[in-house]
């Protein structure tokens, strides 16, 4: 199953994709778009282009597990996206994913504008890999 992951940012939205066997998530691209309708259409187009079978959107929960304004916004975005695509859209906890993405970029010595340009795609990759691992563990139990 091909999954597309979305990390919604304020200025940039990162996308990631996994292989058909759902083993490994990889960064796909970053979309720089402030207009919500254009962003929705861009994500829908990418999902169609890669033949995604499901879209996973990062759900920004607070560290205590509660949901604030950002989570509500992500839920509304997911609902709007689901209305224009013909595949399931799910939300998945994205706590600490940007922190993990920064750590990966530190380990690979990615700095400056390249880091800023790609951090959202790396965060989307972390979200997707976490979701894939969750599904595998759920099946194993």
| Domain residue spans of the chain | 3-140
* Residues 93-141 pLDDT 10s: 988 777 777 787 778 777 777 767 778 888 899 999 999 999 988 765 4
Beta strands in the chain (DSSP E): 3-7, 12-18, 25-32, 54-59, 89-93
Whether the pLDDT of residue 39 is over 80: the answer is yes
Class of the 3-140 domain?
A: alpha beta
| CA atoms of 135 and 86, how far apart (whole Å) | 21
Stated pTM of the model: 0.87
Residue owning tokens 């607070």 = 62
Average pLDDT, the chain: 88
Sign of CA dihedral 127, 3, 110, 105: positive
36: number of Cβ within 10 Å: 12
Residue owning tokens 């970029």 = 105
Sign of CA dihedral 44, 49, 55, 61: negative
DSSP category for residue 80: H
Q: What is the 3-state secondary structure (H, E, C) of 89-123?
A: EEEEECCCHHHHHHHHHHHCCCCHHHHHHHHHHHH
φ/ψ (deg, to 5) at 33: -150, 125
pLDDT of residue 140: 59
pLDDT of residue 141: 46
* Residues 47-101 pLDDT 10s: 999 999 999 999 999 889 888 898 999 999 999 999 999 999 999 998 877 777 7
């Amino acid at each position: 199953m091909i999954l597309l992951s979305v990390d919604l940012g304020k200025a940039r939205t990162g996308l990631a994709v996994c292989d058909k066997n759902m083993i490994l998530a990889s960064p796909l691209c970053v979309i720089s778009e402030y207009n919500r309708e254009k962003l929705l259409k861009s994500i829908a187009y990418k999902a169609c282009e890669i033949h995604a079978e499901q879209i996973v959107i990062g759900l920004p929960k607070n560290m205590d597990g509660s949901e604030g304004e950002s989570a509500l916004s992500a839920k509304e975005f997911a609902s709007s996206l689901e209305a224009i695509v013909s595949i399931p859209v799910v939300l998945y906890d994205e706590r600490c994913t940007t922190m993990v993405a920064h750590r990966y970029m530190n380990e690979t010595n990615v700095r400056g504008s390249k880091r800023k340009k790609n951090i959202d795609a790396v965060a989307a990759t972390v979200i997707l890999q976490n979701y894939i691992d969750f599904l595998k563990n759920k099946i194993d139990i």
